[in-house]
Amino acid sequence: MLAQQFKRMNLYTIITFIITLSAIFAYVNAKFIKLPATIGIMILSIIASLLLIIISHFIPSFPVNAIREVITSLDFHDLLMNQMLGFLLFAGAIHINATDLNKERLPVISLATAGTVISTFLVGALTYLLLQWFHISAPFIYCLLFGALISPTDPIAVLGILKSARIPGSLELKISGESLFNDGIAVVVFIVLYEIAQSGLEHLSFSNVFVLFLREAAGGLLYGALLGYLGFWLLRSIDSYQVEVLITIAVVMGGYALADYLHISGPLAMVVAGIITGNKGKREAMSDITRDYLGKFWELVDEVLNAVLFLLIGLEMLVIEADYRVVIIGLIAIIIVLLARFISVFLPVLLLKPFIKFERHAVAILTWGGLRGGISVALALSLEDGMLKNIFVPVTYIIVVFSIIVQGLTIGKVAKRLNQ
């Protein structure tokens, strides 16, 4: 009876269930556990998933399969990449100080572009060798796809956890700035590699690949600037905080939807539009009342969507299947990803050191602070079954859980110990 009720859930009921569960876990974490909200909610979500799996072994009639169907029906990839990501990136970017970010533009751009590409190829090559060692036949292009989806540091995870990490402000800005831009770059790299994997390199010329990358990345940045200044012009022309908040919502929803239609990078567009709105918009187009309401509104959106996202990451454990061999591959892949992260940070820092002063132990902190999150899981779930999806999805999940829980909980302590 209970299983049938779960299956009959409509979208509103499912959303109600998720929001209610998020609120319960957020309350338990705030009242008793007192971890950073995103980490606490995800840990509780994972524990709940494990308990459901254990209960189903002792009580076969317990509707775990029905709950799995509910989670599967949400389509995590579509929910995050097409519906939540624009809000989360805009909400994160609106609080970035453009003047401070401009001072760190060289390391941020280098880490977000060159660092992401270096990491993609390093992870891809080492994963290819790892799978060969386990006698798993894998075309190299599929391993590169995995490298692209696991290389970006997730702004959603990073921005939420850095608030309580207590690391130097300039270094925090490097990490947060990089994470805001490199997920857009990584998504573009992923799309290019996905096209190659589907069509074959022989059907795509270098010029086609270059045009695809340029359209997605440069087009996203330019489009984001146009959106930001359009929003700025509208905000400056009125003085009504209700309407001005509504305009920013329209910029995110309408802008992101149009970016998808134009086949340009929506994530990069939202970052640029958010930075313009949060700086030029707040400074020149808003009254004090609007500035206060707008800031609090987007902070609340950020907190609520983060709670929902990390709850769903934990609940994904119910639908991700992995045998012991894949678990071992995932554990080894954690080391591979950290090694690739270290090299992809070390090389740009080494090249920039003659021109820019870096903080003490910047490479170590940037390496350990490069958290992976929901974007990696969503991209892994978008793979086709023939692209080793049954391996890369659980491996990605293992890396993300380790990254958020272990690295997220210790980045503040690591930074403090290194700077003693």
Question: What is the per-residue pLDDT for 163?
Answer: 64
Question: What is the per-residue pLDDT for 123?
Answer: 98
Domain interval for residue 138: 76-418
Using the 3D structure, point to which of 73, 102, 133 is the last residue of a domain. Answer: 73
Residues 147 and 178 in one domain: yes
Residue partners of 58: CB distance under 8 A and separation at least 6: none
Residues 59 and 193 in one domain: no
pLDDT in tens, 133-188: 999 999 999 999 999 999 998 877 776 676 666 677 788 889 889 998 988 899 88
CA distance 337 to 192: 21
Residues 108 and 249 in one domain: yes
Residues 23 and 133 in one domain: no
Residues 93 and 63 in one domain: no
pTM given for the model: 0.94
Half-sphere exposure of 16 (CA within 13 A, CB side): 6
Question: What is the per-residue pLDDT for 164?
Answer: 64
3-state helix, strand and coil shares in percent for the chain, rounded to the nearest 5:
85, 0, 15
Residues 6 and 68 in one domain: yes
Residues 184 and 98 in one domain: yes
pLDDT in tens, 105-137: 999 999 999 999 999 999 999 999 999 999 999
What average pLDDT does the structure give for the chain? 91
Confirm if 302 and 88 have CB atoms less than 8 A apart. Answer: yes
Using the 3D structure, point to which of 33, 50, 73 is the last residue of a domain. Answer: 73
Residues 38 and 173 in one domain: no
CA distance 323 to 328: 9
Question: What is the per-residue pLDDT for 63?
Answer: 75
What CATH number corresponds to the domain at position 404? Answer: 1.20.1530.20
Question: What is the per-residue pLDDT for 158?
Answer: 75
Using the 3D structure, point to which of 16, 46, 73 is the last residue of a domain. Answer: 73
Residues 311 and 391 in one domain: yes
How distant is the alpha carbon of residue 268 from its chain centre?
13
DSSP for 54-66, written as a single string: HHHHH-TTS-HHH
Question: What is the per-residue pLDDT for 171?
Answer: 85
**What distance separates the 2 farthest-apart alpha carbons in the chain?**
69
CA distance 148 to 141: 10
Counting DSSP H helices and E strands in the chain, the numbers are 22, 0
Count of domains for the chain: 2
Residues 87 and 150 in one domain: yes
* Nearest by Cα to 187 from 73, 264, 245: 264
Residues 209 and 322 in one domain: yes
Residues 106 and 16 in one domain: no
pLDDT in tens, 390-412: 999 999 999 999 999 999 889 88
CA distance 414 to 123: 24
**pLDDT string in tens for the chain (420-residue length):** 454 555 556 778 888 889 999 999 999 999 999 998 889 999 999 999 999 989 888 887 777 877 788 788 888 999 999 999 999 999 999 989 999 999 999 999 999 999 999 999 999 999 999 999 999 999 999 999 999 999 998 877 776 676 666 677 788 889 889 998 988 899 889 998 998 898 876 666 777 788 888 899 999 999 999 999 999 999 999 999 999 999 999 999 999 999 999 999 999 999 999 999 999 999 999 999 999 999 999 999 999 999 999 999 999 999 898 889 999 999 999 999 999 999 999 999 999 999 888 888 899 999 998 999 999 999 999 999 899 999 999 999 999 999 999 998 898 888 888 876
